[in-house]
Every structure is written in C-alpha cells, then in structure tokens.
Amino acid sequence: MSLTILPEGRTLAVGPGISVLEACREHDIDLPGICGGRGRCRECRVTVIGRDAAVSALDKALLEPGDLSRGWRLSCQLSVDGDLTVELPPVSLKLLDPGVVVPQLESVEPVIRDVVVDLPAALGESDRPAASLLDDALLEKGIRVERRSLAALRELGLALSRRQTRLRCLLHEGTLLDVRVPSSSPVYGLAIDIGTSTVSAALLDLSTLAMLSVETARNPQGAYGGDFMSRIAFAMEKEENLLELHNKIVGGINRMIERLVMSYGLARNDIVLVTVAGNAVMHHLFFGLDVKTLGGFPFRPVLNELAVVPAAELALRLSPATPVVGLPLISGYIGADTVGVVVALDLLARSDTVIAVDVGTNAEVALVHRGKLYVCSAPAGPAFEGAQMACGTQARPGAITKIAIDDKRRELRIATVEEKPPFGIAGTGIVDAIAELARVGVLDDSGRMLETNDWPAWLRERAHLAGEMKAFVFAHDADNRPLYVHQGDVRELQLAKAATATAIHYVMAAANVTAAELDRVYVAGAFGSYLDPVSMLRIALLPDVPRERVEFIGNAALAGAVLATLSRRHLENAVRVAREAVRVDMATDESFQDVFVDKLRLAH
C-alpha cells in the first residue's frame, strides 16, 4: 500500500493497518503529536485528499463536524487501509531579532581561526614531516597546534605535492581542521536552538559575521509527545528508544543542513563550526545521552559542561572533523537555552535589575540583580502553543493570533496569520482571548466563566455550549464552524501561566526584588514575540510593571548560540554563566503549592 504525504510530495510504501502518525515517525517526516499519539490533542490532524476516510470515535470527540466533512482526521487514529494521500499542516515560525545580536559584534575574537601561512622556500630539501613544518609556521603566528584532523593532513599532503607552500589553515581550539589553497571564499558556522516543539538554525558567514538565513522546522521528536517529560517516558521504555529519539533529531538537523547547502550552493566542508543550545533534555537527546535521571529528583545530567564533539560522531552530514559545540547546562533542569538567553542579553555585565522570561513549552527565567544571576525553570506544557485547546492550532496561515473586544464600539476584532480566513486560534490568540474575557467580565479572577446572564448584554449572543462546558465564540471558519474558548481551555492556559509566574516569583524572592525594582522585563522565545504585553500583564503572566518596561527579544536562545559561534568572548561567557548562576529550586519549597495556586489567578 502507498501513503503519499503532501506538501512534501513523498510516497511511502507501508503495511496495512499502520497509522499515518506512525508511518511518518518511521520515515522521518515531521508531524507533531503533542499527546504522544494517544488521541488527546488535535495537533496531529491531517487532511485526507481525494477519498473518504473512516471517522473514529476520537475524531468525533476532538474535531467539529465541519472539520470532518472537509477531510480532517487525527493521524494517530487514521489507519492505512488502501492507497492514501494526506496533507500535513505547515510549520510555525521562530524569530531571531538581529537587534539583539548585531550591536555585540563590533569587535570580536573569532572562535574559528582562519590564517594564511607560508612554509619555508627550501621545503623540498627537508626530511621533516610536513605537519611539523606547518606547526612551526603556525607557532610563528602565535598559534599552537595540539591536534590535527585526518582531512587536514590529507589536504596538506596534496597541497605540497602540487608545490603549494602558501596555505590557508582553519583551526578550532588548537585543532587543525582543514588546510586549503588561500582564497577569499567564506567559511560558515551554524547556530542551532533545539526547542521541544521546533528547531531553528541560523547560517552564519564567519568572515563577515553576517546572518545569512534562519531555518525553522518542527522538532521531529514531537511525534512522541509535546513536552520533554513525554520524551523521557518514551526513552525509559527501552534502551532502543533513546537511540530512536537521538536519530530523529539528528535526522531533522541533517535535513535542515541539506536545505541550506542547496539554497546557498555551499560545499559541506565550508560549514566548519556548529553550536547547539537547548534545554537539558533536548541537549541530552541530541548528543545521545541517557535522560532517565533528568525526569526526577535529583535531576542529574550526564554532562553539564561545554561539549565539543566531531560531527562524524553524531552522524551529521558535514566534514567529519567539524566541531559541534554544545553550550553548557546550568543543571539537569536549567539548560543551555537559558544560558543562550543570558549570553544574548549579556546579563552578567548588567548593573541594573532585569528579568528575562522565555515563554514556551518549558518556561525559563533569569534575573540579574547587583551583578548576581538567578535562574529557574518550570515545565509549562504546550498550552501556550495552542495545543490541547478545543480550537487551538499553531501559528500558521489562518490562525487567529490577536483578539480585542471594543466595549465602546461593541465590536470584536481578530487578526490572523497572513490575513487568511480563520480556522483556529493560536496560543497568542488564546492569551488575548482570556485576558479580554477577564477584563469585560465573562471570566472572574479565578478563571471561572460566569453565567451568560452575567455577561455584558451585547456579548451574550456569543455564548456556546461545547459538550457540557460553557464557551465564548470569537469567530467562525469558512464552513461556519464556531471558533471558541471554553472553560477547559481557560484552565489549561491557567496552568501554563501559573507555572511561568511561579518561576518568576521564586527568582524574585531569591534576589529579594520587588516588581517596582525591575528596570526591564525581557520576553524571549518565538511564542513570546507574538504576545500582546497588555494581555500578559492583565492575566499576571509577567510581574506587575508598567507596559513600557516590557521588551520583546525574539528567540534569544538562538541569538546566544549565534554569538557563541561568532565570538570567543561570548562562548567563554556561556561557560561563566553556567558556572556562576544561582539555581533557584522551587519544587522543594514548602510553600510551593500555595504560591502555584495563587498564580492561577488572572490578576495581580
């Protein structure tokens, strides 16, 4: 039987009875499965093309009749019973704000040394090994060679056989990576942020320090669950599963490399450095390290220091000796993504009091006060990305990203991605929706949806019953299906919001800082970049500060990886951050439950 996947255009030979989600897993096709394929979310939905498909009980429970009529099915429930064609949803984007990176690159010492040397004119009369002669020439330039890649030795031998004594040498931390004929052709670096949901990679010109491209793709491990605890649980089932998760992320990154190489006409050996950031679980899975001890106390990592591994050991499709640098972890639950955020903002050099909040599946918080850095992390879950919401979706064309209720004009306004007709509500739209419903009196501060008769009269026509739960309708899709937020959605968002706000509370308490003392609140992460600061403040997701103190900085974890790829100072700063940060442990505090419950409220 054949399964054709659009828009990739791939046709797979599959056995009867396999689910579409499982077939995509086996063939390295990225399809999110937030709930791990258990039929509890809607993110793995696909559109069946050209034929009817059976409707499962879970399809009926999670998808509206209008969705089903136009071919939507949950891929985890859709079995291949004959030749089948399905279309996958597009991926959402992650942002990289150049304004965070560029000002810090005015004067840098590069991580990759790119130097030209001249070997002695009388080379042909000497019986000394060519490698020793090259070592001496480099030492004259202040560079001591400690190791040599086999590729460099091969190229050295070939160059000398052609009587080329003027050579271009590429080195990383004492390792001679490559030997070339001198030219002005650039070499490149790759900075990668491995997020739980998406992976972003920035292609960098190491000569000009320019960012050429930012590629974004789903994390292919998403088919095994939407949060890192799901990945840990899968890895713990049997040892082979750890290798499967490792191969998935390496395969996904190799596909990104392939696209970049093709798009820019690069030779693979022109990418001479890779730097990787990610939370502790994503870091370990990328390097193929066991994650069992990251799932519970004492949250012990296998490794937390700076890691440098040749690309060949990870099966990355680059020159075998290309160094792959994993930024250090702060602990088993505060990862290299937090280090990246701190590096991007240069927090250790700040004299003011600032806090950075990376909003997403895993919430990371960093606060600097009087030169001391405090960090904390909390699993917020995928609710911020629209997962596990009745009408939730990722931020793709047609997704509602902004919602406003105008009391005076008695109108409700929405904005969608690319101004396409609405078909679902993205996480940012959910935050706006709940903030607005709380403001106008549809929700109380506890998150309870009031009786319809207690709503403003002009909004009562938007009341809806979703099963047994009260709901508020914001729009209708092209098939007149209501797009709404119901009571269960509010509770899901409150849990994610409370996890983030609780982490913020604990770092501020550790530093003995009040909201009034915060000079700046930075919101990091691709999801955070789309949020309305007024909505965030209204539902108490952020500390109670004036709006003008809130600043959005995009994917700061990726920005930190970019800086660590281009600048030795920033790479060394990453090591210092991991060493000096004060880890704030909130889970063992006796008052944790009380704080968390208080942070469920939709008000300060």
Nearest Cα to 579, choosing from 313, 406, 218, 330? 330
pLDDT at 223: 85
CB 335 within 8 A of CB 377: yes
* pLDDT averaged over every residue in the chain: 91
**What residue spans in the chain does CATH classification 3.10.20.30 cover?**
2-87
Cα–Cα dist 571/576, whole Å = 9
Q: Please state, in angstroms and rounded to a whole number, the distance separating the CA atoms of residues 128 and 114.
A: 24
Instruction: Give the Cα separation of 305 and 309 in Å (integer).
Output: 12
Closest CA to 195 of 252, 278, 253, 257: 278
User: CB neighbours of 401 closer than 8 A, spacing ≥ 6?
Assistant: 395, 415, 416, 417, 426, 428, 429, 530
Q: How far apart are CA 198 and CA 395, in angstroms?
A: 12
Nearest to 376 by CA among 528, 524, 583: 583
Predicted confidence at residue 302, as pLDDT, reads 97
When pLDDT is averaged across residues 284-303 and rounded to a whole number, the result is 94
Give the pLDDT confidence score for residue 387 in this predicted structure: 73
Q: Which of 14-28, 111-125, 252-266, 564-578 has the highest mean pLDDT?
A: 564-578
pLDDT for 67 equals: 72
- pLDDT band at 361; cut points 50, 70, 90: confident
Identity of the residue numbered 257: I
Q: Phi first, then psi: give them for residue 395, nearest 5 degrees.
A: -80, 80
Looking at 247-256, 556-565, 583-592, which range is the least confident one? 583-592
User: Taking a C-beta distance cutoff of 8 angstroms, is the pair 277, 557 a contact?
Assistant: yes
Mean pLDDT in residue range 136-163: 94
pLDDT band of 27, cuts 50, 70, 90: confident
Q: Which of 208, 377, 187, 344 is nearest to 267 (CA)?
A: 187
DSSP state of 346: T
- Is it true that domain 2-87 has CATH number 3.40.50.880? no
Nearest 5°: phi and psi at 523?
A: -110, 115
Predicted pLDDT at 93: 39
User: Is 90's pLDDT higher than 70?
Assistant: no
Residues 442-462 have a mean pLDDT of 97
pLDDT of residue 196: 87
- pLDDT tens digit string along 64-82? 676 788 788 988 899 998 9
Determine contact, residues 165/152, Cβ cutoff 8 Å. no
Average pLDDT rounded to a whole number, residues 24-46: 73
Angle between helices 427-440 and 487-511 (to 10 degrees): 90
Exposure of 247 in the CB half-sphere (CA atoms within 13 A):
10
Q: Minimal CA–CA distance to 253: which of 184, 203, 327?
A: 203
More confidently predicted of 529 and 438 = 438
List, in order, residues 6 or more apart from 360 with CB less than 8 Å away.
195, 196, 197, 380, 384, 385, 525, 526, 527, 528
Whole-Å CA distances, 414 to 52, 101, 155, 265: 33, 32, 60, 41
Buried b (16+ CB within 10 A) or exposed e, 311-346: beebebbbbebbbbbbbbbbbbbbbbbbbbbbbbbb
CATH of domain 105-180: 3.10.20.880
Q: What separation, in Å, do the N-terminal and C-terminal C-alpha atoms of the chain show?
A: 57
CATH homologous superfamily for the domain 188-326:
Domain of unknown function (DUF4445) (3.30.420.480)
3-state SS class at 361: coil
What stretch of H or E contains 113? strand 112-118
Residue with tokens 């009341």: 463
- Between helices 280-287 and 228-237, what is the axis angle to 10°? 40
Residue 421's pLDDT is 94
Q: Is the pLDDT of residue 102 over 80?
A: no
Mean pLDDT of 497-509: 97
DSSP 8-state symbol, 600: T
Q: What's the confidence (pLDDT) of residue 512? A: 97
Count of other CB atoms within 10 angstroms of residue 569? 17
Helix (H, G, I), strand (E, B) or coil at 446: coil
Query: 336-382+493-599, what's its fold?
Result: Nucleotidyltransferase; domain 5 (3.30.420)
Instruction: Tell me where in the chain the CATH 3.10.20.880 domain(s) lie.
Output: 105-180
pLDDT, tens digit, 9 for 90 and up, residues 123-143 = 667 788 999 999 999 999 999
Domain with CATH 3.30.420.40 in the chain: 336-382+493-599
Mean pLDDT value of segment 150-174: 94
**DSSP collapsed to 3 states, 190-232:** EEEEECCCEEEEEEEECCCCEEEEEEEEECHHHHHCCCHHHHH
How large is the greatest C-alpha to C-alpha distance in the chain, in angstroms? 99
Partners of 285 in the β-ladder: none
CB 566 within 8 A of CB 526: no
pLDDT of residue 94: 43
Give the model's confidence band at 40: pLDDT under 50 very low, under 70 low, under 90 confident, else very high. Answer: low
Residue 121 in this model has a pLDDT that exceeds 70: no
Tokens of 367: 């606060």
Q: Are 328 and 575 in contact (CB under 8 A)?
A: yes
- How confident is the model at residue 57, as a pLDDT? 87
Return the axis-axis angle of helices 239-264 and 228-237, rounded to nearest 10°: 130
Lookup: tokens for 557: 């974890």
Which of the pair, 310 or 265, is modelled with greater confidence? 310
Share of the chain above pLDDT 90, in %: 67
